[in-house]
Amino acid sequence: MSRPAQQRAFGVAAGLPEEVCAPLAAACEEAGYASIWANDHPLAKGLDTLAEFAKGADGIELGVAVIALDRHDPKAIAADIERLGLDPSRLWIGVGAGFSKKPLTFMTEQIEELRAALPGVRLVMAAMGPKMCALAGSSYDGAFFNWMTPDFAADARTKVEAGAAEAGHDSPPVFGYVRTAVGPDAAERLAKEESFYRDLHDGYRNHFARLGEPEGTVGVAAADRDDAQAKLAAYEALDVIVVRGLASARIDPMVELARAAAPA
């Protein structure tokens, strides 16, 4: 079966100022992005940021990646979707194990509860290691990668496809955050973001050890639009490249970056 044409999405950190969200979503829709995403963290809910995006554009799809299920159970996620008036059919909800002691078992057990609590919502699972990638392929509506090189993403994709094949269905789409900075300080922005995650917890420490890449090199640091486009094109293994924008949380820098990394 041939793969559909690759799409591009734009992603930000949850808690982006409200006055930035709606115009950024409108600019992303105009630039041809298929969806716009926010992460989720203890200080800001990604779904709240999606609700602000929805005020600026009604055609672009909305995604959050990822909500840690050790902090938010499926019923709480459903309550937030209802509270915010988000259209379930427009949503991609990324979920992860967080700090669960047995993440593979935990995410295997969560899928039925997620399906029951979130009918009509497409569920993607955060996956880094081989077993988690296989589970995403077998049981979820997509896999979501994070902090991968193009080659590592290509290898991880094969694990997703193997999980789907074992379950007897086609492989679901593979998404991935690609941290992207453009401009004279791009390398510094990427290095700063990466250094935070490298030592965040054992899961990330182990992941970066498996990558074996020098610090500050996992993602895209580009001088200009042409350079950004060339480097993003290397991520052929992803069905949806989610450009995680590394720019000041103001409308002009965010829109400038979104346009530089927009689908050609």
Band of pLDDT at residue 202, cut at 50, 70 and 90: confident
Mean pLDDT of the chain, nearest integer: 97
Mean pLDDT of 202-215: 93
237 near 150, Cβ under 8 Å? Answer: yes
Tens digit of each residue's pLDDT (9 = 90 or more) over 87-124:
999 999 999 999 999 999 999 999 999 999 999 999 99
* This prediction's pTM: 0.97
Q: What is the pLDDT of residue 235?
A: 98
The residue type at 221: A
Q: Is the pLDDT of residue 1 over 70?
A: no
Mean pLDDT of 47-70: 97
Mean pLDDT of 181-198: 97
Measured CA to CA, the distance from residue 245 to residue 236 in angstroms comes to 19
Tens digit of each residue's pLDDT (9 = 90 or more) over 138-172:
999 999 999 999 999 999 999 999 999 999 999 99
Q: What is the pLDDT of residue 201?
A: 85
Q: Is the pLDDT of residue 17 over 90?
A: yes
Mean pLDDT of 41-67: 97
Mean pLDDT of 62-66: 98
| CATH class name, domain 7-260 | alpha beta
Number of neighbours of residue 138 by Cβ within 10 angstroms: 20
Q: What is the pLDDT of residue 221?
A: 98
Instruction: Please state the domain extents for the chain.
Output: 7-260
